A and B are shown apart, each in its own frame.
Chain A
Amino acid sequence: MIDRLYAYFDSPRRQTILLIAIVVLMALAPLVMGRYMTTIMTNALLYVVLALGLNVVVGYAGLLDLGYAAFFAVGAYSIGILTVQFDWNFWLAIPPALVAACIAGVIIGGPTLRLRSDYLAIVTLGFGEIVRFGARNLEITGRATGLSNIPEPNFFGYVISSYVDFYYIFLLLAIVAVIASHRLYHSRLGRAWLYVRHDEDAAEAMGINRVRVKLAAYVTGSVFGAFGGIFFAANLGAISPESFSFEQSVLVLMAVILGGMGKIPGVILGAFIIILGPELLRNLGELRLLLFAVVMLLIMLLRPSGIWPERRH
C-alpha cells in the first residue's frame, strides 16, 4: 500500500504540489509550535541539509563515508575561528569557510580514489577522527573547550538571534539543499555519479573522468556539510569537539540509509525520523534510546532498502 502511495507521489507534478504544501506548512509552523518543538524542528532541518549532503556522496556516487562530521566540523570551526579569533564579520567568513570545506573534500577525496567499499569506509572514518582530534588539540580551535561567543549574524541591521529566526534560516537552507540535490541528480554530473556507482570500470571506459567525478561528489558533499556547520555554529554560539564525534557521522549516515539512499524525499524523511524520534520519546527517560532502536530495527526489517527507496531504473 505504501509503495502505491509512493508511486502516486513519484509523478513530478504531484511531487511539486506536495513539496509546496509542505513548505507552506513548515513556514507557518512556528506560529503554533512552542519553543521546544521549534528547536527540535530546527535540528531536524539541519540534519536534512547534512543528510542530503551525505546522500550526494553515499547515495549518488556510492562512496561510503563514515567521517562526514569532519566536513560539518570544518564549516563550523572555520566560522568560529574567523569570527572569534580574528573578529571577522559573519557573512564575510562564509566564503573562506566554504573554500576550507572544498579543500577538505579534495584532501579526503584525493587519497581515497583508489579505494572501494570497506577500505574507503575505514579511511573516511580515520579522516573524521583526525579532524576532531586536531580540533581538540589546536590552540586556534580552543582545544577541548572549543570556541564560544560566536557572534549572532547581523543581516542588514536585523540581528538573527531568536530560535524562530534560526528555524527559518535552516528551513531556507533545507529548501536550497533539496533544490540543489534535485538539480544535481538530473544533471550530467548526476548521471556520471550513477554510472560510477554501478560500475566504475565500465563508466571510465565510456569516457567518464572517474577522478573528477568522485572528487566532485566529495566537494559537493562537503559544501552541504559546511553550510550546515556554519549556521550550526551561529545558532549555538559555541562549538566544541564533542559535536563532531563519530556518532554524529553515523547519525547522518543512518538518516540516509533509513530513509532510502539516493532518494531525496526518503532522505528528508530519514533525517526527520532520526532527530524527532528520540526527542518525541524523551519523556520516557532512560528507555527512549532502547525504544527508538527497536523502532529502527522494525523499519529496517520491514523496509530493508529504506522507507522511501530509490526506484531501480
Chain B
Amino acid sequence: MKNGMTALASAVALGLGLSGAVQAQSDRILIGVQVPTTGSEATYGQDMYNAAELAAEELNAEGGVLGMDIELINGDSACDPQQSVNAAGNLVSRGVQGIVGGYCSGATMPTLKVYGDEGLPFVITASNSTQLIPANPGNAFMINSTGADQSKKAVDFFESQGVERLAIIDQGDSYSQDLADLTADRWESMGHEVVRETVNKGEQDFSAVVSNVRSNDVDAVFWTAYYADGGLLIRQLRQGGYRDTIAVGDGSNSPQLFEIAGGAAEGVYAFSNPTAEFLPAAASFIENYRAEYDQDPGPYAPLNYDGLKLLAWAMEKAGTTDPAAVVEALGTADGESWLTGPISFTDENTLARSNFIILEGEDGAWTYFEN
C-alpha cells in the first residue's frame, strides 16, 4: 500500500510540475483547444486537434503571431458537459488568451459562461445548435453554419434554379422536421408555394408521396432527413416519372445514398458542411494533413483549422492579445477568404454567409457543385 500511495503522490506531483512549467513561459501565446480527445467522439476530436496543430505549426513557421509563437493546450471536453466545464476552468487557469474548438453543442453550452466571465475570445468551430446563440455572452463566435443557415442556403439554391412550387419532405424527427419547417417558412415568406409531406421512418413504399408530388406539379423536391430512406424515395420518385430537381439535406450527403438509390441519384443535389475533400482551397491542407498525420482530415478539421487561423488573424489585427480587443477584432471579420469560405459575423456572432456547400451526384459519387 505504501507503493500505491507513493505512485499516487508522484503522479500528482508530476501533473502539478508540468502545469507549472507551462505557466512559466510568457513569450508565447497560449490558445486552448476545447475538443473531445477522449470518449465516444474522440476520433473527430483528435482530428480537430490535429487540424489546429497544423494551423499553429504553419503560423509559427511564418514567424508566429505578434512575433510570438502559438502554443496549444488541449482542453479535453470528452463531449460531456461536466468534463468540458472542468476543461474550460483548467484552460482559463493556465492563462490561455483564446479558445478554439467546441464540439458537441451540449458540452459547449456550459463553457460559454466560463469563458464569458473572463471575456476570452472563443471561436466555436463545430457546435452549431441554435440554442448556443441566446446563451452567448458576446465573446464567442460560431463559424459553423446552423440549421437556419442550411435552410437559407437551400432557399437560395431553389431560387437560383427558378423553382416556384417546392415539395418539402421530412421524416417526423426533430432534425428533419426543424430543417423542413425553417425552409418552408422562408420559402413561403418569399411568396412561393410549398407542398409539405411527412413520411414514417423505415417506410418502404413511397407511392402516395410520389403521386402527390406528381399531381401537384412541383418544380423541386427537398428531402430533409437521412440517406437510408432518402435513397429509396429518390429511386421511387424517378421510377414514378418525376424528372425535375431533387435536393437532399446534410443528413443525406453520405456516399451510401448511391448504393441505395443507384442511378436515380445522378443529378441529385446535396447540401453539406464544408468537408475538406470538396473545398477547392483545401488541396494543400489535405496534402499537409496527410503528410503529418498519415490519415485523411475528418469533417470538422477544416473548420477548426480556420478557427485557429481566424483567432490569430484577430490578434494580429488587434495588435495585442488583450481579450476585449481580440473579441472586438473578431467581430470585424469581413469576408476574408478562408479554407471553408469567407467569414463575417451577424449581430449574434454567427456566420453571416453560410459555409454550406452544394454537391451534385455524378457517376455514383458526390462532386463539388458550388459554394
Interface residues of A (CB under 8 A from B): 1-2, 34-37, 39-40, 43, 143-146, 148-149, 163, 232, 236-243, 245, 279-286, 288-289, 291, 294-295, 298-299, 301-303
Contact = CB atoms under 8 A, between A and B. Distances in A.
Contacts of A43: 82, 85-86
Nearest to A291: B11
B249 to A, nearest CB: 16
B109 interface: yes
Contact of A283 (B22, B82, B104, B129): B22
Given A145-B105, A242-B104, 10 more contacts: A43-B86, A144-B106, A232-B82, A236-B82, A237-B110, A283-B15, A283-B16, A284-B15, A285-B74, A295-B8
B18 A283 contact: yes
B19 interface: yes
A83 to B, nearest CB: 15
State the 9 A-B residue pairs at the shortest beta-carbon distance, nearest first: A240-B106, A36-B93, A39-B89, A36-B89, A238-B109, A236-B110, A283-B18, A302-B4, A283-B19
Nearest to B17: A283
A249 to B, nearest CB: 13
Contact of B135 (A39, A148, A245, A279): A148
Contacts of B80: 242-243, 245
Contacts of A285: 37, 74
B247 interface: no
B79 interface: yes
Interface residues of B, number: 43
Interface in B102-140: 104-107, 109-110, 113, 129, 131, 134-135
Given A39-B86, A43-B82, A279-B86, A149 B134 contact: yes
A294 B135 CA distance: 39
15 contacts: A2-B5, A36-B86, A144-B106, A145-B129, A148-B109, A148-B131, A236-B81, A237-B110, A238-B110, A279-B90, A281-B12, A289-B38, A291-B11, A302-B1, A303-B1
B85 A236 contact: yes
A290 B259 CA distance: 41
Nearest to B132: A148
B1 A36 contact: no
A243 B83 CA distance: 9
Contacts of B14: 281, 284
B93 A282 contact: no
B7 interface: yes
B250 interface: no
Interface string B262-276: 000000000000000
B221 to A, nearest CB: 26
A281 B82 contact: no
A39 B90 CA distance: 9
A14 B2 CA distance: 24
B81 A243 contact: yes
A231 B129 CA distance: 24
Given A143-B174, A238-B81, A303-B4, A35 B89 contact: yes
Interface of B: 1-5, 7-8, 11-12, 14-16, 18-19, 22, 37-38, 74, 76, 79-82, 85-87, 89-90, 92-94, 104-107, 109-110, 113, 129, 131, 134-135, 174
A86 B208 CA distance: 40
B271 to A, nearest CB: 20
Contacts of A242: 79-81, 104, 106-107
Contact of A280 (B2, B5, B16, B134): B16
Nearest to B79: A242
A286 B37 contact: yes
A242 B92 CA distance: 24
A240 B106 CA distance: 6
B55 to A, nearest CB: 18
Contact of A39 (B4, B22, B85): B85
A299 B86 CA distance: 25
Contacts of B3: 298, 302
**Residue among A43, A245, A282 with the highest chain B CB neighbour number at 10 A:** A282
Nearest to B39: A247
Nearest to B130: A145
A264 B3 CA distance: 24
Contacts of B11: 280-281, 291, 295
Given A280-B15, A284-B14, A146 B82 contact: no
A95 B87 CA distance: 33
A35 B93 contact: yes
A101 B302 CA distance: 44
Contacts of B105: 145, 240
Contact of B90 (A145, A232, A245, A282): A282
Nearest to B37: A286
A41 B19 CA distance: 18
B34 to A, nearest CB: 12
**Residue among B12, B79, B87, B109 with the highest chain A CB neighbour number at 10 A:** B109
A236 B89 CA distance: 13
Contacts of A289: 38
A299 B4 contact: yes
A186 to B, nearest CB: 29
Nearest to A3: B1
A260 to B, nearest CB: 13
Nearest to A147: B131
B182 to A, nearest CB: 15
A137 to B, nearest CB: 9
A301 B80 CA distance: 30
A238 B136 CA distance: 13
Given A242-B81, A295-B11, A146 B106 contact: yes
A238 B135 contact: yes
A284 B19 CA distance: 9
A240 B109 CA distance: 10
Contacts of A291: 11
A291 B13 CA distance: 13
Contacts of A280: 11-12, 15-16
Nearest to A241: B106
Contacts of B131: 145, 148, 238
